[in-house]
Amino acid sequence: MSQKLTPRIAVYTGVFDPVHLGHQDLIHRSSELFDKLIVAVGINPDKKTFFDIHERVALLKKVTADYPNVEVHPFTGLAVRFVREMGAKIMVRGLRTLSDMEYEFAMSLMNLNLDPDIETVFLMAREEFSHVSSSLLRQIAMLEGELSRFLDPQVQTALLERAGVRRLAQNSPTNP
């Protein structure tokens, strides 16, 4: 493990199925902390995704287009390997709840054992996003609930289309 890693590059890994405003807030805040932020879209073998990896990458590229220091890449395999391949020293993770903290703490210790050069930095979710999860948003979409407070409009449209919802703007102010 002789590759020189830089603490000015960070990698934010996740499944992002779909990317929501909580993820976007974390991306925004991380992009201000590091010279370069790589958003790494991965595959979790324990999760069945709504969108394939290429669709998730495309949605993330759309919602991060205004950030010149943010790149979006797909990855497979161990996150710490991908972080090292990117030359980064920092892995960014978001925390919403105590259960997140327990899971993320265990994962960070395992990652530290797998690659002691990679550090994990945790950012707390803002209160307005602490209850938001992609799985809940998929359920809301399938039941035709209101999503605009949680998703970028482009992501909302894609999610509703994938969920088979015909009335994409059901609760839109322009819809009587």
For 20-141, where are the E strands, in sequence order?
36-41, 70-74, 88-95, 119-124
Binding site residue list for substrate: 47, 79, 93
Write phi, then psi, for 100 (nearest 5 degrees): -60, -45
Q: Considering 56, 84, 96, 138, which one is annotated as catalytic?
A: 96
Give the full edge-to-edge strand order of the sheet including 119-124.
Answer: 70-74, 36-41, 6-14, 88-95, 119-124
Among residues 47, 54, 149, 167, the one annotated as catalytic is 47
Annotation: binding site for ATP:
23, 94-96, 104, 129-135
Residue 20, C-beta contacts closer than 8 angstroms, at least 6 positions apart? 129, 132, 134, 137, 150, 151, 155
- Identified catalytic residue from 31, 56, 84, 134: 134
- Active site annotation includes 134: yes
Q: Which residues are annotated as a binding site?
A: 23, 47, 79, 93-96, 104, 129-135
From the list 20, 23, 56, 89, the catalytic residue is 23
Residue ranges with strand state E in 30-148: 36-41, 70-74, 88-95, 119-124
- Respond yes or no: is residue 30 known to be catalytic: no
- Quick check: is 62 catalytic? no
For this structure, is 8 an active site residue? no
Catalytic residues: 23, 47, 96, 134
